[in-house]
Structure 1
Amino acid sequence: MASAEDANGKVNLLEDNRIDSGVESFQYFTKDDPYNKPVRDSTSESSEARDKCSSNTEERLDSAYGSSSLTVENFSEILIEGCNISESEDDSAKNTELEHKENLLTNITEDGDTLLHLAIIHEDEHFAHQLIQLFPKDVLDIQNNLYQTPLHLATYLNLSSVVRDLVESGASLELQDQEGNTPLHMACEQGWVECATEMIRNVSSSKLAPVLESQNWRGLTSLHLATVNRQHRLMKLLMKKGADLNIQEGTSGKTPLHMAVELHDIVSMTLLLNKGADVDVPMFNGCTPLHLAVGRQDAAIANLLCQSGADKMLRNIEDETALDLAGGNDDILALFPFDDIQIQGRSVVRVPF
């Protein structure tokens, strides 16, 4: 049977307040690292296997990207020596081996990384797939000290096959890292179309809705990030999956259309408008996309918005229409009616010279 210490280790592993290490700041294992302990107590363990375990732990296991201390060979030896069960062992020995295997695979580093985190960090996809099959769902969702799950790391490193395996095994799409980003946020920011596709291709609309609406700590949804980073393929993917085209980010109330206007990105604007984005949604200060286009003296963008039915007379909280922001730009002024000449209550439209 496992010792009381082992049992306590299992309980501590699944505590809700577990915090993590992460992609960009990794530290070494401590001297109390589980790999410094014998993998099992069975007298059948060969001296050669013990020597291998001992020699592996002489090198401090570093979770940094460039680390050479935790290699593919190390991973394979850990899995083979710690997890294999001989067919000749009786039920009691098998139970003991299973407990040792569970302890080995679920122990975490001082940075909060499980062995699965480390396998992904070192981009050992084959070993990661093996671990995903061994780990229960709760362990797949353990967050390290940067609140990154294995799915965050696999997405960050564009390991689409690992992303697929994690999602199919039930890994959560909703958990957020220390920046408030879900894995889908990360895919949209990095431009990893395949990873995003693997995440959401087989997810029902009801389960996907909270993921698409989730805002990071900057108030941005995945669609905002895809728009800001001009990731047009990802924008199409999110729209196809039902992303809210008029969702406002949390700091100033900009919709993706506002952001596309600010970037002078006609391609993104066209995608959004063709899919039915509201051309007149105001920000928290009352500015519509047309206010932003005119304020930036962008006649081409302003013209596209006007052709899409933008209301030219809407006022922001400063009581300004878009025309008030034209600043004498004739190309922009030509798009607007006079607001001081009216016939039977209707504005007279300016006729370009």
Structure 2
Amino acid sequence: MSRSGGEKQGKLDFDESRIDSGIDSYKSISREQDGSSDRSEDKEKPCVADERLDSAYVSSSLTVDSLGDFIEQCSISECESATDCEYTEEEVNFLTTVTEDGDTILHLAIIHEEEHFARQLIDLFPPELMDIQNNLYQTPLHLATYLNQPPIVKGLVEKRVSLELQDQEGNTPLHVACEHGFWDCANEMIHNASPSNLVNVLEAQNWRGLTCLHVATLRKHHRLLRLLMKNGVDLNIQVSCSKLILLCEVKTFGLVTKHPPDFLVQEGTSGKTALHMAVELHDAQAVNMLLNKGANVDAAMFNGCTALHLAVGRQDATIANLLCQAGADKMIRNMEDETALDLADGNDDILALFPFDDIQIMGRTVMSFS
């Protein structure tokens, strides 16, 4: 897709780890391949935005101008709703054009940050087409979130696109926002979602078993944590499974999109809550936020360890003190038959947090004076 008015600078510094059909294929173009090998000084320069490739360049003749011409000729403004519109065969063929990477025209407009065209396409597209997933199972909403485009995210969510579709990593668009700290995109999704959809999205786990709360905690995005907490996220949900997905195909307007079926193969993993993760990261602010909002201070991982076990084992007296003040049970035993007090042996700062009101032999309480 050619760019009118020159290349726009992206909102992020792109790197090779970014995953979407357009972004992941931004490859360096060797100066030797284009016949300019004598310009040796250019070989040391990194790839820049106007050198990037995506499916539009290699498999389609679509251009910004052709999109604009089509928009002028076809509008849904005359229809009461997109589903009531009757498209000509030429219009349907144009709307359902996909590249070899599975991108629709809307995917491409978002990838190239052509906001004006993307917004027109959102008005033009029937809802079914806006949930098409490309070869990496990304919807236009995934890409708009990944590129931090809140106006596009808002437009898509207002058209009731799915918030629950997952990409090849199992991430919903809200996972993507929580991963990168894009509060504005997350806010648009959360406040424009229906209550029932929001519950499902907040509980959705990616293929590593992580919910949006887990991801925001791991990335220390505290503002996003507050947003999730304010909107009723379950603070005690555990990293409970890894999932093997068999993708089924669904045809929409002649295009193939892929969805995970209801059948999932699950396998238990760690059982960590967001509180466990915050403790492991020595993130006292997140620990305090979670405790103040009612996180279960004594929630146990699958190995029986509570947050206090983790704090003591990491010799983090500050967080151990926060947990004790929140009423953490100091005598819960993990699968190794150890209490938090057992793990504190030798650390005077942490031992000072434990009242010696019990008689213990080898860490086991035999008499209590309380």
TM-based fold match above 0.5:
yes
d(CA) in 1 for partners of 2:159, 2:101: 24
Alignment CA distance shift 1:69-1:75 (3 Å)? farther
1:111 alignment partner, SS class: coil
State the match for 1:221 in structure 2: 211
Distance 1:81 1:218, change over 3 A: closer
Q: CA deviation at 1:77?
A: 2.7
Q: Over residues 120-160 of structure 1, what are the superposed CA-to-partner deviations in whole Å (9 max), with x where a residue is unaligned?
A: 00000110001111111111000000000000000000000
Structure 1 or 2: larger helix share?
Answer: 1
- Give 3-state SS (helix, strand or coil) of 1:264's partner: coil
1:74 lines up with 2:73 in the alignment:
no
Match of 1:192 in 2: 182
Q: CA deviation at 1:344?
A: 9.8
Give the RMSD, CA atoms, in angstroms.
Answer: 3.0
SS of residue in 2 equivalent to 1:220: coil
Matched, 1:161 2:151: yes
Structure 2 match to 1:108:
98
Q: Which runs of 5+ in 1 are unaligned?
A: 1-19, 29-60, 87-94, 349-353
Residue 130 of structure 1 corresponds to 120
State the Cα deviation string for residues 237-278 of structure 1 (Å, max 9, x = none).
111111000110123011001011011111111111111111
- Corresponding residue of 2:298: 280
CA distance in 1, matches of 2:90, 2:64: 16
- Distance of 1:171 and 1:68 partners within structure 2: 28
Give the superposition deviation at 1:69: 11
The number of aligned residues is 287
The structure with more radius of gyration: 1
CA distance in 2, matches of 1:69, 1:22: 13
- 1:25 equivalent in alignment to 2:43: no
Secondary structure at 1:230 match in 2? coil
- The code of the aligned residue for 1:25 comes to D
Report what 1:310 is aligned to.
Answer: 328
**Higher RCO, Cα 8 Å, sep 6+:** 1
What is the CA deviation profile of residues 195-241 of structure 1, one whole-angstrom value per residue up to 9, with x for unaligned ones?
Answer: 00000103232221110000111111000111111111111111111
Task: Report if aligned partners of 1:117, 1:153 keep a CA contact under 8 Å in 2.
Answer: yes
- In 2: Cα distance, 1:21 partner to 1:290 partner: 40
Secondary structure of 2:359's aligned partner:
strand
Decide whether aligned partners of structure 1 residues 82 and 202 sit closer, same or farther in structure 2, where only a CA change above 3 A counts: closer
- Check conservation: 1:82, 1:100, Cα contact below 8 A: no
Q: 1:264 to 1:85 in 2, by over 3 A?
A: closer
1:70/1:106 Cα in 2 relative to 1: closer, same or farther (>3 Å)?
closer
Q: Tell me the equivalent position of 1:257.
A: 275
SS state of the match for residue 340, structure 1? strand
Whether the 8 Å CA contact 1:326–1:332 is kept in 2: the answer is yes
Q: Which runs of 5+ in 2 are unaligned?
A: 1-18, 28-51, 76-84, 241-268
Cα gap change, 1:107/1:256 in structure 2, threshold over 3 Å: closer, same or farther?
A: same
Alpha-carbon offset, residue 335 of structure 1:
1.3
Q: Distance in 2 between matches of 1:62 and 1:83?
A: 28
8 Å CA contact 1:341–1:347 kept in 2: the answer is no
Q: Distance in 1 between matches of 2:350 and 2:134?
A: 52
Q: 2:195 matched to which residue of 1?
A: 205
Instruction: Encode CA deviations 1:305-353: one digit per residue, 9 max, x unaligned.
Output: 00110000000011100111114001111112445359994257xxxxx
| Percent of aligned pairs with the same amino acid | 62
